[in-house]
Amino acid sequence: MHLWTCYRNPFNLLLTVLGIVSYSTEDLFAAGVIALMVGISTLLNFHPGGALDQSGGCAEGDGEQHRHRAAGGERAGESRWLELPIDQLVPGDIIRLSAGDMIPADLRILQARDLFVAQASLTGESLPVEKVARSRDPLQQNPLECDTLCFMGTNVVSGSAQAIVFATGGRTWFGQLAGRVSEQESEPNAFQKGISRVSMLLIRFMLVMAPVVLLINGYTKGDWWEAALFALSVAVGLTPEMLPMIVTSTLARGAVKLSKQKVIVKHLDAIQNFGAMDILCTDKTGTLTQDKIVLENHTDVSGKVCERVLHAAWLNSHYQTGLKNLLDTAVLDGVELDAARGLAERWQKVDEIPFDFERRRMSVVVKEDDAAHQLICKGALQEILNVSTQVRYNGDIVPLDDTMLRRIRRVTDTLNRQGLRVVAVATKYLPAREGDYQRADESDLILEGYIAFLDPPKETTAPALKALKASGITVKILTGDSELVAAKVCHEVGLDAGEVVIGSQIEAMSDDELAALAKRTTLFARLAPLHKERIVTLLKREGHVVGFMGDGINDAPALRAADIGISVDGAVDIAREAADIILLEKSLMVLEEGVIEGRRTFANMLKYIKMTASSNFGNVFSVLVASAFLPFLRCCRCTC
């Protein structure tokens, strides 16, 4: 922290002026005491601030040492491809992408084969998204949700593609976010504004009292030089010289205590804002939830829990040889170890029909001893329905007719409204045979039921939300995820989501309309990074002390705009740089403990201000009254 930044505050500047005046009147003792107070206050502010910045920097340094190296682009030539460093890519270049590559620039997909891209660094959502050459939703307004665009800073999970570069460097989405964070002016936060108001109140009172004292003593005593010295003494007496030092030392002590509670304070002023915060805006993924996919439900077609469906899904995930995605891992973890061991011993793999994104399903063929083979197919609901002709309903095999299809839709729509991601499971018995199984064998299947997935809430989330509410803090969820998933999570943690506002609605609102809506809305979904920043800014405009908690690149503008930006040790570098406080544990419970400590620190400062102001005013008033009747001595001076 720069020494000048630590020095400049109204009290230090006022004391400096008074010290200069004292020195010019040859009152060297007073000038020395004032200079000592200013110096101690500045150094106390400088040393803890620097140490805390260094602590934050240590956390940030971890990210610097573990950067993944992005694959260089390959530019198409007349008959060959050229491998180029990232900094030599220009708009118009055509590059090739494959699994494991970091996206080196903002791209538009020209050709894609089973391309899935992880956009967690930009959106905060853990599940990869599919990218295609022809958009399935050409009217999509949020660029991050556009399925034909890839962005710098994301990475390819699977598949391959050719794409054309349309933005590089600072013109990319990533670069614009980083630039916006660095360009944002550092506005005074709520604590700095409060200190300034208190300071200016005392200064105005001093500026009124000093001339009054000068005039009264000048006219009554006739010695204007002595009256001027007495007025100066009154001005010094009204000034709480120790206030800057007390404030700084109290904040520094609070920062040390918070560090023991896994909270690293980068800026001392943030501690009071921590305690004064009345609205906390936070992301959903990883904050309210565990940031991992788990198997939430396994049902038959009527929506009843069914172990048969779970076991079939487990065999499918267990025996597939391709790269297991998050859903497969969740299925494998969803079966108890003894049951899984029994299934593996009972059923042996015969063959496999791999997953592809055209079919959006995959199948394994298993057998039990020398019995008939069983094909188990798992995939997107509509794709499974396309190859199914029968349904297992209440233990019987019945045709998949229109009536049954309506029942299926009702059940799956209910699961979707609960924010669950639904995958269908179907089976088919085939005579034992030699040879490979083909896609054509995925026909006339029997729909068994569904497996449903969710990123579950943390166990500490609900108690933490109750504690924050009891502390007078309103929690608002700002997420890039879908409104159904977010509403489901809010319901499970006891947060009343009420009316959900999505990003496309925000685009059409004026600032006044959004400000009014933001005050009464708890859940905002499908948000772009600048939507989050806008909401935080408007809540601040309405007089709230707003905190924002996030860990992704998409959260950086809102972190910078908030009164108190809160990030975590594992966050991306830009988010940590924009934050005022870094949590060593991504938990709202840690946050609630920090709020209590912040309020305790603020209460101690408030006690000192009240005590000092009342004491100084009483002393000055007593001396002022006495001076009207007693002769004034130059050495008589109020030291408060």
In angstroms, rounded to a whole number, what is the distance separating the alpha carbons of residues 338 and 327?
21
Nearest by Cα to 165 from 215, 118, 217, 104: 104
Residue 254 covered by a domain: no
Which residue out of 283, 328, 441, 580 is catalytically annotated?
A: 283
- On the question of pLDDT at 61 being above 50, the answer is no
Nearest by Cα to 274 from 605, 594, 600, 584: 594
* Same domain as 312, residue 440: yes
pLDDT tens digit sequence for 499-513: 899 888 998 899 999
Residue 376 covered by a domain: yes
Q: What is the pLDDT of residue 11?
A: 66
Examine the fold and report which residue of 437, 454, 471 is the final residue of a domain before the chain moves on. Answer: 454
Q: What is the pLDDT of residue 400?
A: 92
In angstroms, rounded to a whole number, what is the distance separating the alpha carbons of residues 106 and 254?
44
Q: Dihedral sign, CA of 142, 148, 154, 156?
A: positive
In angstroms, rounded to a whole number, what is the distance separating the alpha carbons of residues 316 and 26?
91
pLDDT tens digit sequence for 78-88: 546 788 888 88
First to last CA, the chain: 31
Q: Which CATH number belongs to the domain containing residue 497 in this structure?
A: 3.40.50.1000
What is the band of 293 on the pLDDT scale with cuts at 50, 70, 90? confident
3-6 LR contacts (CB < 8 Å, sep 24+): 3/42, 3/46, 6/42, 6/43, 6/45, 6/46, 6/49
* Same domain as 516, residue 372: no
In angstroms, rounded to a whole number, what is the distance separating the alpha carbons of residues 565 and 555?
10
* Same domain as 474, residue 446: no
Residue 40 covered by a domain: no
Q: What is the pLDDT of residue 406?
A: 93
The set of residues, in sequence order, having a beta carbon less than 8 Å from that of 308 and lying 6+ positions away, is: 300, 448, 449
Residue 315 covered by a domain: yes
Q: Are 581 and 265 in contact (CB under 8 A)?
A: yes
* Same domain as 401, residue 287: no
| DSSP single-letter state for residue 16 | H
Residue 38 covered by a domain: no
Q: What are φ and ψ of residue 105, in 5° steps?
A: -160, 175
* Same domain as 562, residue 501: yes
Q: Go through the chain and tell me how many residues it has.
A: 640
CA atoms within 13 Å, Cβ hemisphere of 212: 13
* Same domain as 571, residue 534: yes
Count other Cβ atoms within 10 Å, centred on residue 25: 15
Count other Cβ atoms within 10 Å, centred on residue 167: 19
Mean pLDDT on 558-563: 88
Asked whether the whole model's pTM tops 0.85, one would answer: no
pLDDT tens digit sequence for 224-239: 877 777 777 777 777 6
In angstroms, rounded to a whole number, what is the distance separating the alpha carbons of residues 171 and 175?
6
Examine the fold and report which residue of 132, 149, 167 is the final residue of a domain before the chain moves on. Answer: 167
In angstroms, rounded to a whole number, what is the distance separating the alpha carbons of residues 313 and 224?
96
- On the question of pLDDT at 382 being above 70, the answer is yes
Residue 606 covered by a domain: no
What is the band of 70 on the pLDDT scale with cuts at 50, 70, 90? very low
Q: Which CATH number belongs to the domain containing residue 112 in this structure?
A: 2.70.150.10
Residue 41 covered by a domain: no
Examine the fold and report which residue of 133, 167, 201 is the final residue of a domain before the chain moves on. Answer: 167
Nearest by Cα to 381 from 450, 319, 309: 450
Q: Which CATH number belongs to the domain containing residue 352 in this structure?
A: 3.40.1110.10
* Same domain as 389, residue 465: no
Q: Are 265 and 271 in contact (CB under 8 A)?
A: yes
Helix (H) or strand (E) holding 565: strand 564-568
* Same domain as 318, residue 283: no
- On the question of pLDDT at 2 being above 60, the answer is no
Residue 375 covered by a domain: yes
Told to judge if 283 belongs to the known catalytic residues of this protein, a careful annotator would answer yes
pLDDT tens digit sequence for 461-494: 889 899 888 889 999 999 888 888 888 888 888 8
The boundaries of the domain holding residue 272 are 262-291+459-595
* Same domain as 418, residue 526: no
The set of residues, in sequence order, having a beta carbon less than 8 Å from that of 8 and lying 6+ positions away, is: none
Mean pLDDT on 287-313: 90
* Same domain as 338, residue 286: no
* Same domain as 584, residue 443: no
Helix (H) or strand (E) holding 157: strand 155-167
pLDDT tens digit sequence for 201-225: 777 777 777 787 788 777 777 778 7
Residue type, 137: D
Mean pLDDT on 529-545: 91
* Same domain as 545, residue 496: yes
Number of domains in the chain: 3
In sequence order, what E strands does 317-444 have? Answer: 348-356, 361-367, 373-379, 388-393, 396-399, 421-430
pLDDT tens digit sequence for 165-185: 999 988 888 887 777 666 655
